[in-house]
Amino acid sequence: MEIDYVNNKQLLEPINFKSESIFSKNDLQITIDNSKNIVSLNQNREEPKKFKTLFKNYFLFEPPKISELRFNKKYMSFWVRTNSFFIVGDVNPKDLNSVFSSTASITDQTGGWISIQIKGKTSKSIFEKLISVNLEEFIQAKAIRASINKINCFILCESQFNKYTIICPISYYENMKSRLVSLAELIN
Amino acid sequence: MTRPTRTKSSLINTNKKLSFVFNGKKYEGFQGDTLASALLANDVKLIARSFKYHRPRGIFTSGSHEPNALVEIIHDDYNEPNSKATTVELYEGLVAKSQNCWPSLKYDLMSINDKFSKFIGAGFYYKTFMWPSFFWEKVYEPVIRKAAGLGKLSKNKNNKNSEKGFLYCDLLIIGSGPSGLISAYIAGLSGIKVIIVEEDYVFGGSLNNEIFKISNMSPQAWVQSILKEIRKLSNVRCIENTSVIGMFDHGVFGAIQKLKESKIEQIFWKIVSKKALLCSGSLERLIPFQNNDLPGIMLSGSIRSYLNRWGVNNFDKVLLFTNNDDTYVTALDLISNGINLIGVVDTRDNPRIFDPKIKVFKSSQIVSAKGKLYLKGVDIVNKVGELTHLKCDYLGISGGWNPNIHLSCHTGVRPEWNEKIYAFVAGKTNVSTHLKAVGSANGKFSLYECILDAEKQVLEILSDLEMKPKKYSLPKIKEQSFEIDPFWFVKIGSQRKWVDLQNDVTVKDIEMAYAENFRSVEHLKRYTTLGMGTDQGKTSNVTGLAILASLSNKSIPDVGTTVFRPPYIPLSIEALVGSSIGKNFKPTRLTPTHNWARDNGASFTETGLWLRAEWYSQKNEYHWRMSVDREVNSVRNSVGFCDVSTLGKIDIQGKDALEFVNKVYCNGFAKLPVGKVRYGLMLREDGIVMDDGTTARMSENHFIMTTTTVNAESVYRHLEFCHQCLWPEMDVHLISTTDAWAQIAIAGPKSRKIISKIVDKQFDVSNKNFPFMACKEITICGGVLARLFRISFSGELAYELSIPTQYASSLVSYLMEIGKDENIIPYGTEALGVMRIEKGHAAGAELNGTISAQNLNMGKMVSNKKDSIGMVLSKREGLNTLDGLRLVGLKPIKANHQLVSGSHLFNSSDTITPINDLGYITSSCYSPTLKSSIALGFLKNGNSRHGDYLKASNPILKTEVIAEVCNPIFVDPNGDRLRE
C-alpha cells in the first residue's frame, strides 16, 4: 500500500466535531465536541499511594472522589467506578501508559463518546425535563450518571443552572441530539 | 335600577374582547373569562344533557368540581371531549359544542330516556340484557357501546407536545388561596425551597371571588401585593394552571401543568417534597329536592364567584337556599350589585341576621323546582307546611362545605368526621408526615381562622426542618364565625331528587340500593355509580353518605367513605406519556458506518436498539433474496465486508485478568498465548449456555472480549457481578469499549489481499506469520491505530479489523476504492446470517436459554481441570443424557421445499403430537451455496441420526416438509478454507 507523501493526503479522515453548534437561540446554546481524547484510567490495587501521586503530578489535581468533577485548562476528570476515572482532554494513551506503568491500566475511549455542552439560563428548564436529578443539589464541579431518553450518560455541571456537559456513547448521538434540539425548540 | 352587563371586576379585562363559538353560534367574552362565565354573561343557560336521562343541564359550579357543563372543544386538528366549561380559559376563536345530545341540545331525541326512567334506574343493567343470550354479542353490546360514554374522540393524530419534568423542594404548597399564600410567604422568607401550585390560571383561590376588605384593600389587590413579595424570593417557585393530581409514597406528588402561549401544551411534573401543605380550600355541596337539576340552579358560592370574579351581572330574580351562614355573603354581594334578590330560604329556625334588607324564609325548605328547559320558579314549604310558590330565574343552593381533602387520602389515610362543620376533614391517625391540610381544607371556614391556621402549620414545618422563620406581618382580619345546621335532603315529594348530577343518581336510587341490600358505602358507590363520574362526586359524595346513614340509622362517620384515589382530576394518557412517543419511545443506536450504508442502498433492521444494514440493494434487484444471494456468492467467491461493530467489546486489564477470563468461560484460557484469540463459551450458574464470543490476548494482562450484540449489556453486567461479588479480591478492570472501537469483518478467499493493501508495511499478514486465530495491534493506512483478528464465522478466510470509531466511515469508503479489482462488496446481516448457518455456527436462535454445551456438541469444551461459572451444574444428569438434544443440520429432500424456523421434528411415520416431538428447528435460510433451503435445529440423539428422514411440521403455518438430518456444518466442514 502506498502512502501518499507527496500530497500529504491522509488516507482515512476521522469524523470530528469540534465545538459545532447544533442549537443557538435566545441565550441557549447547544454545541457538540468529540475532538478531545477520552481515556479510562484504572488504578491497580497494589500501589494506591504511588498512583495518587502520579495522578496529581500529571494532571495537576487530585483524583476526583465520587460525583466530583475536577478540571483545569488542559484536562477534566471524574470518577466512574471504584478505582476508575475518565480523563478528557489532550491526553495520549501511550504517554499515560509510560507514566502510570504498573500503577494503572489505560483504556482508550476516544471516539466512543460525544460531549454535548448546554449553556445558557434556559439550561435549568431543559434539564428539569430531561433528568430526574435534583438540580438544586447538582452544583458546580459535580458529575453524575443519569439517563436521558433511556440513554445512559454522564452529566457534568460546570456552572449550576448555566453550563452543563452531557457525555453520551456515540452510537446514541443522533437520538440524543434529536431530543435535545426538539426540547430546546419547544422551550425557546 | 339599570346595571351594566358586567360588574367592575379586577380579574377580567373588559378592554380585550374575545369572540368564540358555542353550538355554532357566535358570542363575545373578555380576557380572563372562562367559557362558563362568558356563556352566563351571554344569557346561555342550557349547556348540556345529562349522561343517562339526557335531562337539560346548565352550569352548576365555577370550578373543576363541575358535574354538568361538559363540552367538546374543537381544535384545528383534534377534538377535546369532556372539557369542563368552568375551567376552560376563554381564548380568541374558541369553538365548543355540547356533547351527549342529538340532533341538537334543545331538541335531544335521547331525552326519551327520561320517560323510561322507571325502567332504567340505578343498576338496571344487572337485571336486564340477560335474555336471549345470543342477543348479547349481536345486539345489546353494540347498542350499549354506541350509547355509552361521554364525548367522542376525533381519532385524528394529536400533535400536541407534552413533556414530563422533575422538581424538588422542601415544601410544596397546594393551592394559592389565603392559607396557601400566607404559608408561601412565611416559608419563603425563611429561605427554604418552596413550590406553590395553583389549579386556576390566576393565583388567589377563593379570594378572587370576594369583595370584602383585607388590610383596607380589595382581596384581589391584597393577593397581588403578597404575590409580589413572594415572587421577589428566588427560593419560591409559583406555578399556576397546575393541578396536583395525586399524592404518592415518600413525598412524591404528581402535577399536571397546562401552558399558555407555549409550544409545550402540558407538563406532567413529578414533585418530590419533604413536606406539603394542602391549601385546596373547600367545595360547596348541594341539597337534593324535586327537580333540583334544572338549568339556572347553581351552587350559591358559584353565583358569588361569577358575580365578583367574572363580573357576570345579568342574574335576575335570584333565590338562595341554604343551611349555613356563607350564603348570606352571596346575598349581600347580590344586593350591593343591584340584583333582584328574592330572598334566602333557610332551613334553620334562627339564622343570624346579616342584613335586614334580606328577606329570609326561616325554617323552610324548597320542595320542588319548576320549569322544563330552564328554572322558572320553586315551591317552598315552611315548618307548619304552608306552601308558597316563588318565581325565580336563578337559584343558589348550599348544603354546607366539604374541605377538599382528596389528596390526603391517596396514601390510604381515611378522613375523619368533624361534627362542628358537618364535614369530613383530613385524617390524623397514621397520617403521612408529608402532607397537612390547612385553612378551609382543614375545616376552618373563616378567613381569620384560615390565616391563623396557615401560620401555625407552616411554623411547625419550619421547626421540623430546623429552620427559623424571619420577620413577617399578617393581614388584619376581623374574627368571624361560621354556623351550620345539618340538612342533607328534602324528604317531601315523590319526584326524583338529584344527588349525583353527572351520573344521574337520585335519592330514590340510593334508597333502592339500600333496599336491595347494597348497604356498604363501597357497594352503594358501584351499584348506583354515585361519585364515579369525572367530577368524582365532589358535590355529591357526602350527601349520598348522609342519605345512606339516615336509611341505616347509623351516623355518617360510621357509614364511612369510599377511598379517594388519584387522579384528582381526569388526566389524559398523553400527559403520562410525555415525549416518549415515536422515536423518543426507545433510543436507537447507529453503527459507525450507518450514514455510509444508508447512502449506499442499505435496508436496515433492528437488532435490539441497533439499526443494522440488512442487505444492500443494487439497481436491478427488486427482491431482497436477490441482494442477499448475491452478497453470499460474492463473499464465497471473492470478498466482502460487514460492519460488526454492534458486537459487545469488553476491555479486560489487570494483574488477574487471565484468571478472571479463565473463570468466566467454561473452556480453558489459562494457556492462551499473547497474540492469540480463542472462541469462548460462557455458561450460566445452572450450566446453561449464556453467550458465546471470542477473547483475544493482546498482551500479558490485556484481553479483549467480544460478546453477541444482544447480550452485550447482560454479559457486561454478569462480569461486573462476578468481579464485585464473587471475586472482589481480583485486581482486574472491565471497561466496555463497544462504542469506542468499530469492527469490520472482511471475509472471502480474497480477504487477505484486501488486508495487505491497508495494513502498514511493517506488519506481515501472511498465513505463516498471521495464522488462523491470531491477533495483533497494528496500524493501517499510514499510522491509524487498529487491531487485527483472524477469526471467521462464515467458513471463509476472514479477518475482523477493529479501528477507533471515528475512522470507520472513511475506512469503508477506502475499502470500496481499493477493493475494486477484487470486486469487493458490502454485505449485511442477512448474508452474515446465511453464511453462519451454512457454517453450522450457533447464534442467538440456538442460544435460547435452555441449551447446554452438550446440546451444541460442545460438551467436551467444558473443562474439568478448572473451576468456572456453570461448570458444576453443567454436569447434571439431566443435561447429559445420551439421547439428549443435539445440534444437527437439516436439508429438505426436495430442493424447492422450504424449512421454517420454529417447526418441530417428528419421525416420518409418527403423528404430530407432543409425545412424538423429537426436537425443533432454530434457524433456517435459503443457501445460495447449496442451492437449497437448509436449517439448524436440535434433535434427540441427533448425532446418531445423520442420514435419517424426518418430518418438519409447523402447525401454525400449516407446513410439513420431509428433511434429511445431516452434519450442521454444510460448508467447509473440515475448516480448510478458513485456515488457508
Least Cα separation, residue A73 to chain B (angstroms): 25
Residues of B in contact with A100 (CB under 8 A): none
Give me the total of CB pairs closer than 8 Å, taking one residue from chain A and one from chain B.
Answer: 149
- CB contact B587 to A (< 8 Å): yes
Return the residue in B612, B735, B777 with the most chain A beta carbons within 10 A, the one to mutate for interface testing: B735
Question: What are the tens digits of pLDDT across the range A19-51?
Answer: 899 999 988 999 998 888 999 999 999 899 999
pLDDT score of A91 more than 80:
yes
Considering only CB atoms, A129 lies closest to which of B164, B262, B655, namely: B164
List the 717-746 stretch of B: residues with Cβ below 8 A of A: 731, 733, 735, 737-741
Contact B735 A40 (CB under 8 A): yes
DSSP B726: I
Helix (H, G, I), strand (E, B) or coil at B476: coil
Bond into B103 cis (ω within 30): yes
CB B311 within 8 A of CB B568: no
Residues of B in contact with A133 (CB under 8 A): 166
The pLDDT-based confidence of B6 (bands split at 50, 70, 90) is: confident
Q: Give kind and range of the element (H or E) at residue A116.
A: strand A113-119
What share of chain B in percent tops pLDDT 90? 86
Contact B590 A178 (CB under 8 A): no
Residues of A in contact with B756 (CB under 8 A): 1
List the 117-136 stretch of B: residues with Cβ below 8 A of A: none
pTM of the model: 0.91
Contact A45 B731 (CB under 8 A): yes
Question: What are the tens digits of pLDDT across the range B494-535?
Answer: 999 999 999 999 999 999 999 999 999 999 999 999 999 999
DSSP B515: H
User: What is d(CA A24, CA A31) in angstroms, rounded to the nearest whole number?
Assistant: 8
Q: Give kind and range of the element (H or E) at residue B277.
A: strand B266-278
The pLDDT-based confidence of B1 (bands split at 50, 70, 90) is: very low
The pLDDT-based confidence of B321 (bands split at 50, 70, 90) is: very high
Contact B161 A40 (CB under 8 A): no
Q: Which residue of A has its CA nearest to B761?
A: A1
CATH 3.50.50.60 spans which residues of chain B? 161-282+403-464, 287-398
pLDDT score of B727 more than 80:
yes
Q: Which residue of B has its CA nearest to A176?
A: B587
Query: Percent helix, strand and coil across chain B, each rounded to 5?
Result: 25, 30, 45
List the 410-429 stretch of B: residues with Cβ below 8 A of A: none
Q: Which residue of B has its CA nearest to A38?
A: B740
Contact B168 A14 (CB under 8 A): no
Contact B587 A46 (CB under 8 A): no
The three-state (H, E, C) secondary structure of B363-408, written as one string: CCEEEEEECCCCCCEEEEECCCCCEEEEECCEEEEECCEEECCHHH
Q: B287-398: what CATH class?
A: alpha beta
Contact A129 B810 (CB under 8 A): no
pLDDT averaged over every residue in chain B:
94
CB B392 within 8 A of CB B340: no
Residues of A in contact with B612 (CB under 8 A): none
Contact A134 B168 (CB under 8 A): yes
Contact B811 A169 (CB under 8 A): no
CB proximity list for B790: less than 8 A, separation 6 or greater: B677, B770, B771, B772, B773, B774, B775, B798, B799
Contact B193 A136 (CB under 8 A): yes
Residues of B in contact with A179 (CB under 8 A): 579, 584
List the 218-277 stretch of B: residues with Cβ below 8 A of A: 262-264, 267, 270, 272
Q: Which residue of B has its CA nearest to A4?
A: B782
pLDDT score of B153 more than 90:
no
The three-state (H, E, C) secondary structure of B923-950, written as one string: EEEEECCCCEEEEEEEEECHHHCCCCEE
CATH 2.40.30.110 spans which residues of chain B? 881-979
CATH number of B593-646+740-836: 3.30.1360.120
The pLDDT-based confidence of A6 (bands split at 50, 70, 90) is: very low
CB proximity list for B927: less than 8 A, separation 6 or greater: B632, B834, B837, B838, B933, B934, B970
Residues of A in contact with B584 (CB under 8 A): 149, 178-179
Residues of B in contact with A107 (CB under 8 A): 651, 653, 733, 735, 737, 740
Least Cα separation, residue A105 to chain B (angstroms): 7
Question: What are the tens digits of pLDDT across the range B28-79?
Answer: 999 999 999 999 999 999 999 998 999 999 999 999 999 999 999 999 888 8
Tell me which amino acid residue A172 is: Y
Helix (H, G, I), strand (E, B) or coil at A15: coil
Say which CATH topology domain B881-979 has: Elongation Factor Tu (Ef-tu); domain 3 (2.40.30)
pLDDT score of A4 more than 90:
no
Residues of A in contact with B583 (CB under 8 A): 175, 178
Contact B780 A12 (CB under 8 A): yes
pLDDT score of A3 more than 60:
no
Contact B590 A173 (CB under 8 A): yes
Least confident of A136-150, B146-160, B442-456, B965-979: B146-160
E-strand ranges in B432-497 read 435-437
- CB contact B196 to A (< 8 Å): no
List the 148-187 stretch of B: residues with Cβ below 8 A of A: 161, 163-168
Q: Which residue of B has its CA nearest to A15?
A: B806
Segment B107-132 mean pLDDT: 88
- Count Cβ neighbours within 10 Å for each residue of B879-905 and write b for 16 or more, e otherwise: beeeebbbbbbbbbeeeebebbeebbb
Question: What are the tens digits of pLDDT across the range B954-963?
Answer: 999 999 999 9
Least Cα separation, residue A87 to chain B (angstroms): 14
**Nearest alpha carbon to residue B368 among B383, B357, B379:** B379
**Residues shown for chain A:** 188
* Options 3.40.50, 2.10.70, 1.10.10, 2.40.10; CATH of B488-573: 1.10.10
- CB contact B779 to A (< 8 Å): no
Considering only CB atoms, B654 lies closest to which of A3, A44, A133, namely: A44
What share of chain B in percent tops pLDDT 70? 99
Contact A14 B807 (CB under 8 A): yes
pLDDT score of B480 more than 90:
no
List the 822-851 stretch of B: residues with Cβ below 8 A of A: none
Bond into A64 cis (ω within 30): no
Residues of A in contact with B723 (CB under 8 A): none
Question: What are the tens digits of pLDDT across the range B603-636?
Answer: 999 999 999 999 999 999 999 999 999 999 999 9
Q: Which residue of B has its CA nearest to A80?
A: B735
CB B779 within 8 A of CB B731: no
CATH number of B1-148: 3.10.20.440
Least Cα separation, residue B254 to chain A (angstroms): 13
What is the CB neighbour count within 10 angstroms for residue B539?
26
Segment B871-899 mean pLDDT: 94
- The two beta strands, B702-707 and B602-607, are unpaired
CATH 3.30.70.1400 spans which residues of chain B? 648-736
CATH 3.10.20.440 spans which residues of chain B? 1-148
Residue B147, C-alpha cell as written in the block? 350509547
List the 800-819 stretch of B: residues with Cβ below 8 A of A: 804-807, 809-811, 814, 818
Least Cα separation, residue B20 to chain A (angstroms): 27
pLDDT reported for residue B3:
58
- CB contact B701 to A (< 8 Å): yes
**Residues shown for chain B:** 980
CATH number of B161-282+403-464: 3.50.50.60
Segment B440-465 mean pLDDT: 95
List the 652-671 stretch of B: residues with Cβ below 8 A of A: 653-655
CATH 3.30.1360.120 spans which residues of chain B? 593-646+740-836
pLDDT score of B478 more than 90:
no
Contact B737 A107 (CB under 8 A): yes
Q: Tell me: domain B648-736, CATH 3.30.420.40, correct?
A: no
- ipTM greater than cut 0.90: yes
Contact A12 B805 (CB under 8 A): no
